[in-house]
Amino acid sequence: MQYPEPIAKLIDSYMKLPGIGSKTATRLAFYTIDMRTDDVDAFAKSLVAAKHDLHYCSICGNITDDDPCEICRDSGRDQGTILVVEQPKDVMSIDRTGDYHGLYHVLHGVLSPIDGRGPDDLNIASLIKRLQANATVHEVIVATNATPEGEATAQYLSRLIKPAGIKVTRLAHGLAVGSDIEYADEMTLLKAVEGRTEL
């Protein structure tokens, strides 16, 4: 027996999410049907709003519903440091430690020759423009993940930025090799930012 089309479509949609196979997708689809109509409507609305109302900050590349984003607009933050991360969710992880008060820049990936991802595919040009336009920046902290691609990207940025007389540092290796910023606990991140080393 085939599922009625609306259920089949819902199962297909759930299966597009990471880590969700057909069994889980089917369970979620049937759960959704049993949910209160109000809750389903709110759920659908929040999905659409998240996709349509959010965009990337024109300055730092972080995800925001306002441009520039809240962090870029905050003149109380240290305008002299920019911490460079791979993904918007890394901004949240590091900012939650409460120990870093500077600005951010989101690359939206790392250099990966195997995947054909070069400097032009990342949010690097806007970082350079930012540094040229803002003479108060004296340090760029590269907080890419501790993977070979993350390291290569850090080295690349260092070679690019250092000639301008700006200090380039890398997070301390409290972070396990191959690990993602996203999954590090707050204490580890705090130590990694405090113990950063110059590149």
Task: Summarize as ranges the residues that interact with Zn ion (CB under 5 A).
Answer: 57, 59-60, 62, 68-69, 72
Asked whether 130 and 79 are in contact (CB, 8 A), the reply is no
Q: How many alpha carbons lie under 13 Å from residue 108 in its C-beta half-sphere?
A: 18
In this complex, which beta carbon is closest to Zn ion, that of residue 67 or of residue 198? 67
CB of 106 to Zn ion, least distance (A): 8
Q: Which residue is nearest to Zn ion (CB)?
A: 57
CB of 157 to Zn ion, least distance (A): 18
CB of 110 to Zn ion, least distance (A): 20
d(CA 87, CA 144): 9
In this complex, which beta carbon is closest to Zn ion, that of residue 62 or of residue 87? 62
Structure letter (DSSP) for residue 105: E
Q: Starting from the edge strand earliest in sequence, which strands make up the sheet with 103-106, in order?
A: 103-106, 81-85, 139-142, 167-170, 197-198
CB of 62 to Zn ion, least distance (A): 5
Q: How many alpha carbons lie under 13 Å from residue 63 in its C-beta half-sphere?
A: 13
CB of 133 to Zn ion, least distance (A): 14
In this complex, which beta carbon is closest to Zn ion, that of residue 26 or of residue 56? 56
In this complex, which beta carbon is closest to Zn ion, that of residue 60 or of residue 189? 60
| Number of other residues whose CB lies within 10 A of the CB of residue 115 | 11
**Residue 94: helix, strand or coil by DSSP?**
helix
In this complex, which beta carbon is closest to Zn ion, that of residue 10 or of residue 127? 127
